[in-house]
Amino acid sequence: MKKLALLLVIIGVMLFAGSAFARGDFHNHGRFDSMFAPDMPKEIRENATEIAKLYIDLEEALTSQPLNKEKAREVYGKIIKLQQELDIWEFERYLSEVDEFNRQPQPIEPPEIESPDENQPE
């Protein structure tokens, strides 16, 4: 019984965060587009928006009486697929930023000159 209650609390928190994100309450107070990277392709941006909408659908499926397990599984599968596409884009973007940084000339630091230690015999 305790495990079920804990599971319901965790799912409730996830759903609340997802629905708040979809409504724009979670970040930037409704300025949903400002959360995206400026170089984000339109397809990836649409995926992120769709994920937020799907969280609302998932919440409805999980709170319906009786529980609609098939719809919940279907919606969750869509969320995972779209999230994976978003994660791959973010990772590729990160790799290109690291590659660009590594191609830049690095400043050359002068070697450190050790001062003679007064306590050591010469």
Q: Does a structural domain hold residue 25?
A: yes
110, amino acid identity: P
What confidence score (pLDDT) does residue 22 get? 54
Q: Does a structural domain hold residue 59?
A: yes
Return per-residue pLDDT of the chain as tens, 122 residues. 667 666 666 777 776 666 555 555 444 444 445 566 788 889 989 999 999 999 999 999 999 899 889 999 999 999 999 999 999 999 999 999 999 988 888 787 877 877 766 666 65
Output the CA–CA distances (angstroms, integers) from residue 58 to 44, 53, 64, 98, in the order listed. 21, 9, 10, 36
Structural domain boundaries, residue 92: 7-96
Q: Does a structural domain hold residue 103?
A: no
How many structural domains compose the chain? 1
Output the CA torsion sign for 99, 100, 103, 105: negative
pTM for the model stands at 0.55
